[in-house]
Amino acid sequence: MEIWINPGCSKCRAALSVLDAEAADYTVRRYLDDPPSADEIRDVLGRLGLEPWDIARTGEPVAVELGMGAWPRDAGERERWIGALAAHPILVQRPIITADDGTAVVGRSEEAVRSVLPPSPSGE
């Protein structure tokens, strides 16, 4: 699995702690240093079952500057949102974990992080 993180984010650090405690096999992607492309964002959105506005951090200064809070949240504007997320990765909600089974979660809670972990061998 892969986890998109911002090392300065407490939710990201908490998610990493859960993964480490469970000895999960994962790769870290510092998405501000290695931004996802528009295609990668589309793929993650499909895996999450969400729309781009669902993972946008509209309170960030760049979002306010772009006026994203007023952007329509509909199919006609979907690519505009994706383009903004790709151009300004700070706008992407974090952490996002993509699991090997094709699922993904926004891991802002311990429960969400645990939901993508494979079952333990003992079935617990």
3-state helix, strand and coil shares in percent for the chain, rounded to the nearest 5: 45, 15, 40
Candidates 2, 4, 8, 9; catalytic one: 9
Euclidean distance between CA atoms 97 and 8, whole angstroms: 17
State the alpha helices, DSSP H only, in 67-123.
78-87, 110-115
12 is catalytic: no
Of all helices (H) and strands (E), which one includes residue 17?
Answer: helix 10-21
| Contact (Cβ atoms closer than 8 angstroms) between residue 1 and residue 98 | yes
For the annotated catalytic residues, the residue numbers are 9
